[in-house]
Amino acid sequence: SATRGRFACDLTVTRELTNRFGTLHGGAIATIVDVLTTAALLTMTTRGGVSVELSCAYCAPATLEETVRVECEVVKMGKTLAWMECRMTRASDGEVVATGKHTKFL
């Protein structure tokens, strides 16, 4: 779903997104934070911008074939910078898989 300043979706963990332990790879999580916080930003502007800072906190695993809920929001958008946040939870129990913060230059 997409509304002004927000983007949310469900993601199924496929083999291509897993690490050697069979859980959602940290690099895949970082890419998801990057792309989907930008999707939230694009609900407010046509300027996708460029990344200034991206951070992720890895809290719990999501395993192969598990569904993860991804919710992103624009915390603030100024004339030249935008700050977004992302939260990923396991659909099965609501456990936080990861959180992310993303700053972009517009």
Segments making up each domain of the chain, as ranges: 2-105
Q: What is the pLDDT of residue 41?
A: 98
Domain 2-105 has CATH 3.10.129.10: yes
Nearest by Cα to 101 from 59, 81, 73, 78: 73
Instruction: State what percent of residues in the chain have pLDDT above 70.
Output: 100
Model confidence at 75, in pLDDT bands (50, 70, 90)?
very high
Q: What is the pLDDT of residue 67?
A: 98
What mean pLDDT do residues 28-48 have? 97
